[in-house]
Amino acid sequence: MQSLEIKDLHISIGDKPIVNGLSLTVNRGEVHAIMGPNGTGKSTLAKAIAGHPDYTITSGDVLVDGASILEMEPDERARAGVFLAFQYPSEIPGVSIANFIRAALQSRLPEGEELEATKYYKNLYAKMDALKIDRKFTSRSVNEGFSGGEKKRCEILQMAMLEPTYAIMDETDSGLDIDAMKVVAEGVNALRGPKLGILLITHYQRLLDYIVPDYVHVMWDGRIVKSGDKSLALELEAKGYDWVKKELAAV
């Protein structure tokens, strides 16, 4: 069972239910896109899976390769292979990207084992070259004073270094111009492969021109109301979300 399984998930913020019975299975090697209008619970889903303390899972389950992660702390979920590329990544003043990623990798080693510095930098520079990121980048403090594009590239670099098995990408295209979006999409495409399952969350179809998904799901009012292949995204683009709304009303 090499998959991220979301089973009939209900999520609340405080007393307010946001996600109302969402089920979805992302196998390794697949790219799924969740599309939907603002306020439908897409980002809530992403943060709740990662274990953000503000979101309460009231029922349902999330399984990573068959094991539930709901009792785990956010860091344990991360080490179990779940990566969240943030829509608004936090700034960490005074901590360089290189040191941050190093600490993240160190946290995955058993107690008493030290990450080997030379190997680490070799690996880091190789990944940066592959993602066409300037080497000076990693001495800057994490996200501090970054442009939208730089923040997203920083997320992709972390993803490349931490090698998760499941990546949830929350509005990775938001705030990016078309050139920046192409660069980020190239990065994600480079990481695609049989060992990684990707859940792309997006409001717009345009990202899916560059990262072509295997499956597209439409989210509405806290649940998935329609699923299909990449053509669904184009249909949605052409007809707008009102089309889904009307269809739902007809049922």
Partner 1 sequence: MNPLSDNDTTIADEAAANPVAGIDQEVGNFQYDVKYDFDAGSGLSEDTVNFISQVKKEPEWIREFRLKALKVFESKPLPTHWATKDLENIDFNKIRYYLSQGQRSKRSWDDVPDDIKKTFERLGIPEQERKFLAGVEAQFDSEAAYSNIKEAVSKQGVIFMSSTEALMEHPEIFRKWFGKVIPTGDNKFSALNSAVFSGGSFIYIPPGVKVSHPLQAYFRINAENFGQFERTLIIADEGAEVTYMEGCTAPKFSTATLHSAVVELVAMKGAKIQYITVQNWSANVFNLVTKRGLAHEDATIKWIDCNIGSRLTMKYPGVVLKGERARGEVLSIALANDGQHQDTGAKMIHAANNTTSNIIAKSISVGQGRSTYRGLVHIPKHLKGCKSNTECDALLINTNSRTDTYPAITVKGDRNSIQHEASVSKISEDMIFYMQQRGLSEAEAMSLAVNGFVNDLVREFPMEYSVELKRLIDLEMEGSVG
Q: Which residues bind partner 1 (CB under 8 A)?
A: 50-54, 73-75, 77-79, 83-84, 86, 89-95, 99-101, 103-105, 107-108, 141, 158, 162
User: CB-wise, 83 or 220, nearer to partner 1?
Assistant: 83
In the bound state with partner 1, the residue whose beta carbon lies nearer, of 12 and 141, is 141
Least CB distance from residue 73 to partner 1, whole Å? Answer: 7
Least distance in angstroms from the C-beta of 95 to partner 1: 4
Residue 79 CB partners (closer than 8 Å, separation 6+) = 107, 108
Shorter beta-carbon distance to partner 1: residue 168 or 208:
168
Is the distance from CB of 50 to CB of 74 less than 8 angstroms? yes
Tell me the closest approach of the beta carbon of residue 21 to partner 1, in angstroms. 25
In the complex, minimum distance from the CB of residue 49 to partner 1, in angstroms, rounded to a whole number: 10
Locus of tokens 């409001």: 203
Decide whether 104 or 225 has the Cβ nearer to partner 1. Answer: 104
User: What's the chain look like in SS3?
Assistant: CCEEEEEEEEEEECCEEEEEEEEEEEECCCEEEEECCCCCCHHHHHHHHHCCCCCEEEEEEEEECCEECCCCCHHHHHHCCEEEECCCCCCEEEEEHHHHHHHHHHCCCCCCCCCCHHHHHHHHHHHHHHCCCCHHHHHCEECCCCCHHHHHHHHHHHHHHHCCCEEEEECCCCCCCHHHHHHHHHHHHHHCCCCCEEEEEECCCCHHHHCCCCEEEEEECCEEEEEECHHHHHHHHHHCHHHHHHHHHHC
Minimal distance, residue 166 CB to partner 1, in Å:
13
Position 226, amino acid: K
**Which is closer to partner 1, CB of 76 or CB of 229?**
76
Smallest separation (angstroms) from partner 1 to the CB of 116: 18
Given the complex with partner 1, which of 101 and 180 has the nearer CB atom?
Answer: 101
Nearer to partner 1, 164 or 187 (CB): 164
Tell me how far, at minimum, the Cβ of 13 lies from partner 1, in Å. Answer: 14
